[in-house]
Amino acid sequence: MKFSSRSHYGLRAMVALARSYPRGPVPLAEIARSEDISFSYLEQLMASLRRAGLVGSTRGVHGGYQLTDAPAEVTVGQVLRALEGPIAPAECASETGNSVFCDRETDCPSKTFWENLRDNIAQVVDATTLADLCPGDTVKVP
Amino acid sequence: MKFSSRSHYGLRAMVALARSYPRGPVPLAEIARSEDISFSYLEQLMASLRRAGLVGSTRGVHGGYQLTDAPAEVTVGQVLRALEGPIAPAECASETGNSVFCDRETDCPSKTFWENLRDNIAQVVDATTLADLCPGDTVKVP
DNA sequence: TAAAATCCCTACTGAATTACTGGGAATTAC
DNA sequence: GTAATTCCCAGTAATTCAGTAGGGATTTTA
C-alpha cells in the first residue's frame, strides 16, 4: 500500500510553491534544484497539477509556476487526486462512480470495508491544506 | 493508491474462514471455488497468513485451513500486514522502524503528513475485525 | 528581429512489481 | 496403497512506475 513517487514529489513541489506564495511565478528549475527532483519528471507532474487548475503557469523569461489559490485553500486531497486519480484502495471502491468489475456488488462484506477505509483516507487528505504543511510561515493574519 | 490483489483476495478468504469458524479445517479448493480465486495463487496467500500465525493448517485428507483465533479477535490490520507488509503510504513513513532514505529526515513537512495519514489508516484497519465483516452471523453472545 | 528563458507535449525505455502458473514433495485418512 | 490435501519453490507474462529524451511553442529582453 503506497502512494507513488508522483504524489511524494508533487506534494513537495506544491509545498515549495506555497512557501513562495504570492510572490509571482517560480521557475521549475528552481524547485527541481531545491527539492532534488528530476526536472523533466517534475514537468510532467506540474502538467497534471495545471490541468487540474491547482497551479497557473507563465511562459517566458521571468515565467514559472504559482498556486492559483492561497495555500490555506488548497487541500492535499486535491493535489493527490490530480496526481494519482481518484482515491480507491480497491477497484470496487473508487471515489468516482462505479468501476464495476466485481460480481459480488451489493453484498460483499469486504467491499464495505474498503469503502469505509476510502472515506476515512479522503477525510484526512481533504482536511489538510498546504498551509498546514508550511510551518513557520505565518501566512494567515499575523 | 491501491492495495494489491493479495489484500483483496486474502481478506475475502479470511472472511470465508471466519464464516465457517469454528467448524474444523476448510480445504483451500473450497474457498478458491466459492470466492473465485486461483487455487495456486490462494495457496501463496495462505502461506503468508499461516507464517503470521493467523491461520492454522492441517495436512492430509480432511485437512485444510482454519482461523487460529475467533473472528472477533482478528483485525483486518493483522491480515493486511501479513499480506503486504507494514503500512507505509510513503517510504519515509513506514510503520516498522526507519526506512531511512530521504535526507530531509526531521523537518520535512510532507513527511509529517504521510505519517499522519499512515496512523489514520492504521487506526481504521485495526479497529475492524473479521466478525465485523460477517453480517448475519451471530457469533457473539446470542 | 534575434536570442534566451521558460513552459508544453509526446514518445520511449529500463526496472521493478504484480499476479499468477506449474511441478513435485510431504502428510494424513481410509 | 491411494486419494486428498497442504507445502514449497521456481518461473513467467503482463502491467505499472519512474525517469529520459527531444523537439516545439510562447514570451520577454535587448
Nucleotides in chain D near protein beta carbons (<7 Å):
3-10, 17-22, 25-29
User: Which pLDDT value is given to residue B139?
Assistant: 46
Residue B124 touches partner A, C-beta closer than 8 Å: yes
pLDDT, tens digit, 9 for 90 and up, residues B53-78: 999 999 999 999 999 999 999 999 99
pLDDT of A136 above 80: no
Say which of A7, A117, A128 has its CB closest to residue B124. A117
pLDDT, tens digit, 9 for 90 and up, residues A5-32: 999 999 999 999 999 988 999 999 999 9
Cell representation of residue A91: 477497484
Helix (H, G, I), strand (E, B) or coil at A64: strand
A44 touches strand D (CB under 7 A): yes
A128 touches strand D (CB under 7 A): no
**Interchain proximity A124–B120, CB inside 8 Å:** yes
Nucleotides in chain C near protein beta carbons (<7 Å):
4-11, 17-23, 26-30
B58 touches strand D (CB under 7 A): yes
Cell representation of residue A55: 497551479
Q: Which fold has domain A5-133?
A: Arc Repressor Mutant, subunit A (1.10.10)
What is the CB-side half-sphere exposure of residue A51 using CA atoms within 13 A? 10
Residue B68 and residue B56 in contact, taking contact as beta carbons nearer than 8 Å:
yes
Indicate the domain borders of chain A.
5-133
Taking alpha carbons only, the member of B8, B16, B81, B88 closest to residue A91 is B8
Say which of A3, A91, A112 has its CB closest to residue B90. A3
What is the CB-side half-sphere exposure of residue A62 using CA atoms within 13 A? 2
* Nearest nucleotide (C1') to alpha carbon of A42: D19
A34 Cβ neighbours under 8 A, 6+ residues apart: A16
User: Which pLDDT value is given to residue B48?
Assistant: 97
User: Which pLDDT value is given to residue A138?
Assistant: 55
Q: State the Cα torsion B123-A7-B85-B127 to the nearest 10°.
A: 10
Q: E strand or H helix at B55, and its extent? A: strand B55-58
pLDDT, tens digit, 9 for 90 and up, residues B15-50: 999 999 999 999 999 999 999 999 999 999 999 999
CA–CA separation, B139 and B142 (whole Å)? 7
Of residues A138 and A35, the one with the higher pLDDT is A35
